[in-house]
Amino acid sequence: MSETKKVTGIKVKGIGKYVPEMIASNEDFAKIVDTSDEWITQRTGIKTRHITNGEPTYWIGAEAAKKAIADAGIDVSEIDLIICATVTPDFYTPSTACLIQREIGAIGSMAIDINCACTGFDYGLDMARRYLLSEDDVNTVLLVSAEELSKFTDYTDRSSCILFGDGAAAFVLERKYDALYSAYLGADGSGAKFLVSRAMRSENVFRTNKEDFDMGMPETKLHYFTQDGKEVYKFATKALPLAVTKACEKAGISPEDLDAIVPHQANVRIIETAAKNLGVSMDKMVVYIDRYGNTSSASIPIAFCDAVAEGRIKRGDKICFVGFGGGLTYAGIIFEY
């Protein structure tokens, strides 16, 4: 294996997370659909998930952002760019990033929303690094993932409603010279139909064509989420080890050299299969799905925050964030914390 490649990378100056106070246990779900704690735990690894009780997506994102800013020890006036990853915005416009900016008082910074589904934090991290590379206008980036998946969860569908939780996490980022950094990002739009939540339909007053356009997508119940579980599993168990392996190759290291791999927290079986395919121990995988369920793009940074708080991840560790999700999207990011 070649020597670890050093480039202009990222410095994680501060981190923070926020999850709603309300918790829904597996036993709570057994009261509304035909399921049980044993069935859910064995198939997903999930025990509880946090659910909002009226708090909007932008608000939980702002709460996580405030904690990251405090952890970084900076003033909000130092923030040049806010990137928010979310699939559950409160509005089509304004963006969630603009609302977070308003809440934290970082008026004047750029504000961008991105939608890469569960891979959003990885994509946002790489986007932040590319802005920081310019060295012109952007020196500090606030990256937030805020997800309120309870918005599009069909609580009559026992196969999917048990999976999702709400939560947010944020990083304050700066550039770091001569640092470990590698990214492998991609997408496969041919699998778009496997993870779907429908937005507005075109019903304008001038429309005369009453036939629905064939978009090659499945019919959904209003805006509720639907997925092809078997196809998603097949994709995820291949995409996760591929993204880690390719990112490691670009960094000049092997997966064994990593101190921790933080995967998207979708299903513990997916993570176990991916670890086996990578040839690494599950001890290297950071998994907190039992506490939070699937929180889409927020799952990776939430898990990272918990691992740091519990001393599992320390400064100087080589970390890999690996995500996969709707689109279909996938990404692996390697950096030194």
**What 3-state class would DSSP assign to 139?**
coil
Q: How far apart, in whole angstroms, are the C-alpha atoms of residue 306 and residue 287?
A: 10
DSSP letters for 175-186: EEEEEEEEEEEE
The closest of 40, 324, 296, 263 to 150, measured between CA atoms, is: 296
**Is residue 118 annotated as a catalytic residue, yes or no?**
yes
Residue 199 sits at φ, ψ, to 5 deg, of -95, -160
Cβ atoms of 89 and 148 closer than 8 Å: no
**Under 8 Å between Cβ of 48 and 290:** yes
Tally of residues, the chain:
337
Of the listed 267, 294, 305, 320, which one is catalytic?
294
Ramachandran sector of residue 37 (left: φ over 0; alpha: ψ -120 to 50; beta: rest): alpha
Q: Tell me whether residue 277 is one of the annotated catalytic residues.
A: no
Give the tokens for residue 96.
Answer: 């969630």
Please tell me which residue in 118, 161, 248, 305 is annotated as part of the active site: 118
Distance CA 120, CA 94 (A): 19
* Separation CA 227–CA 146 (nearest Å): 21
Tell me the C-alpha to C-alpha distance, in Å, between residue 304 and each of 85, 174, 184, 273, 335. Answer: 16, 18, 19, 21, 13
50 as an active site residue: the answer is no
Spot the catalytic one: 26, 50, 98, 264: 264
Full DSSP string of 92-108: SSS-HHHHHHHHHT-TT
Determine if the peptide bond prior to 218 is cis (ω within 30°): no
**Positions marked catalytic:** 118, 264, 294
